[in-house]
Amino acid sequence: MSLNPIGLPICSPARPGLESSPYVIRLGAPHGCCCAETKTQTFHATVHVTRVEEWCVEAETAEEARELLAAGDGYRCQIGDCINIEVEGVED
């Protein structure tokens, strides 16, 4: 299963029917992976990401399911939407 099933233009080529611009990261220039003319370097960052995910667990009742999920049991059914990104620090 692909982690990027819709082909987002940030790190993969645009697919037909996807309404997006290749000018997402830098105004006026294609995104970094396609532009060999610019001199860039890689920076590593600590990023806190808040995501809403759908989790599944086998249980006999909803109460039991809540307890199991709160204890860390179960598995992620769907990765869900990112609702917040906060950059803590950037290192070179």
Closest CA to 49 of 11, 87, 5, 80: 87
Chain centroid to CA 3: 9
More confident: 71 or 2:
71
pLDDT above 70 (res 20)? no
DSSP calls for 73-86:
-SEEEEEEEEEEEE
Residue 36: per-residue pLDDT: 59
Model pLDDT for residues 54-84, shown as the tens digit of each residue = 999 999 999 999 999 999 999 999 988 899 9
Assign 29 a pLDDT band (cuts: 50, 70, 90).
low
Q: Where are the domains of the chain?
A: 1-38, 41-91
Q: Are 8 and 14 in contact (CB under 8 A)?
A: no
Residue 80: per-residue pLDDT: 86
